[in-house]
Structure 1
Amino acid sequence: MVRAIRGATTVENNDREEIIEATKEMLETIISENNIKTEDMVSVIFTVTPDLDKVFPAVAARKMGIVDVPLLDMSEPEIDGALKKCIRILMHINSDKQNKDMVHAYLRGATVLRPDLVK
């Protein structure tokens, strides 16, 4: 069955390496907390706020060896009051687990987005 896992993180600066590191941290957390193998991944969608334009977050996934999974990067619309310098993820996986058993990863400044899902 296909399941979806959400997550988000933030960076302090619009910096290539900082974006890659924050994205890797988010991916590693999701993969570890959900015991995901690359072959379980169906697709991964990343979004970034308009103030992040130095690198695609998918670069981090490729650097981690996630090379046979479709990845997509998109820019979010500019929304008044929205969290700045934010990277979001929607990962689709094949899993026998129930939706309630999926562990989502809201890290750094993004914990404010879903305090109900933060450990």
Structure 2
Amino acid sequence: METLEVVKGIRGAITVPENSPEAIERQTKKLLAEIMSKNSLQKEKIISIFFTATPDLNAQFPATAARKAGLTEIPLLCAQEMDVPGSLEKVIRVLILTYLPENQKVQHLYLEGAKVLRPDW
């Protein structure tokens, strides 16, 4: 019996130690690699990836790092996260829309300093 695939969203976030192209690229690639590994994602099944970055991260687009990581055929979009007073700084967030088996549980990943954003996960 064939497993039905459905569209699922996977969330994640990671902090970046400094506002430099190298740091943004390194942390974005780390976040994507962890999410893809933990969820057994296949590039061909990813529909799109939406990134946000806090206003203090503007030295590089997270999407540039994704392209360098080989995600060249997937629609990518970057936006600036809302600047809410007192919120966590230097954070890249991601929402990946992908096809997964209906019965596969999604693992959302909040890494490094971003763990405080979703302690329930």
TM over 0.5: yes
Residue 3 (structure 2) aligns with = none
Task: Report 1:57-96 matches (<5 A).
Answer: 57-96=62-101
- Whose helix proportion is higher, 1 or 2? 1
| TM-score for the superposition, normalised by structure 2 | 0.93
Q: Paired residues, what number? A: 116
Runs of 4+ in 1 over 2 A off after TM superposition: none
If you compute each CA radius of gyration, which structure gives the higher value, 1 or 2? 2
| TM-score for the superposition, normalised by structure 1 | 0.94
Structure 1 gap ranges (5+): none
Residues 81-117 of structure 1: per-residue CA shift (max 9 Å, x gap): 1110000000000111447x10111001000001111
Over the matched positions of the two proteins, sequence identity in percent amounts to 45
AA aligned to 1:8 is A
Structure 2 gap ranges (5+): 1-5
Task: Report 1:36-51 matches (<5 A).
Answer: 36-51=41-56
Residue 109 (structure 1) aligns with = 113
Following the alignment from structure 2 to structure 1, what is the Cα–Cα distance between the partners of residues 63 and 36?
15
